[in-house]
Amino acid sequence: MNIIPLGIWGGYPKANSATSSFLIEHDGFHCLVDCGSGVLASLQNYVPLEKLNAVVISHYHADHIADIGSLQYSRLINYYLGKPSTVLPIYAHDRDEEHFAQLSHKEQTIGVAIQETDIVHIGPFEVSFCETIHPVYCLAMKFKVDGRSVTLTADTEWSDKLVKFASGTDLLISEANLYEEHLGKAPGHMAGSEAGRLAKMTGAKRFVLTHLPLHGNPEDILDAAKGVYEGHAELAVVGKEYEV
């Protein structure tokens, strides 16, 4: 499978960019992971919107769902133009009933509830989930196909549960929103050293950092991660194909 970063920022995007989001592809199936601000514009560089097959949402903070409405309108407009698409499933937890209800829109998209204990088959992927530590309920996710896996931590503080959940993954995509001087001072996020520790303890073969802060120099976060993890680590690059 191919994993393409569409955006790398946490909170809000820099100019002409997008918040943290990924397109995961295999055998012509296209799955979008998170759909925050700027993501829809970025996505269209890699696949037409009507070719998107599924969406998975980690949680309902704006930087992960802001473009859902625009995605729904894109399908509705095509319907009015006489080019209807099949109903697009959007997988997300239903613990926030109001936000979950908004995922279903005029028979163009439909919300599909997921739970931490679920193993869901989405196209060719077997997808499992793990609750993270964040101010709102949030799910990390692992995509498996043909014996390979990619694990996305979503937004989280350090969590021992994630070590077991991501163990042996081929590619770990970890949030790293904090500089070392902010470690423990901002709820719901990790610093580079913590993300590097997670990659080391899980035995991840490759390691990519995302959900980066807009201030400072994110290379400092990468350096902190490399101080712990001895394998290949890099900041996510928009448009780069990470093949697993």
* Weakly modelled stretches of the chain, pLDDT under 70: none
Contacts of 66 (CB under 8 A, 6+ apart): 19, 35, 36, 37, 39
3-state helix, strand, coil in the chain (%, to 5): 25, 30, 45
Token duo for residue 128: 């499992």
The Cα–Cα gap between 193 and 111 comes to 36
The residues with which 178 forms a beta bridge, in sequence order, are 191
The Cα–Cα gap between 239 and 244 comes to 15
The answer to whether 169 and 163 have CB atoms below 8 angstroms apart is: no
The Cα–Cα gap between 189 and 119 comes to 25
Q: Residue 184 has what pLDDT?
A: 83
Q: Residue 162 has what pLDDT?
A: 98
CB atoms within 10 A of CB 227: 13
Domain limits at 184?
A: 2-243
CATH code for position 25? 3.60.15.10
The amino acid at 100: F
The amino acid at 147: G
Domain count, the chain: 1
pLDDT tens digits, one per residue of 150-182 = 999 999 999 999 999 999 999 999 999 999 999
pTM of the model: 0.97
Q: Residue 236 has what pLDDT?
A: 98
121 by Cβ neighbours in 10 Å (0-12 / 13-18 / 19+) ranks as: exposed
Q: Residue 222 has what pLDDT?
A: 98
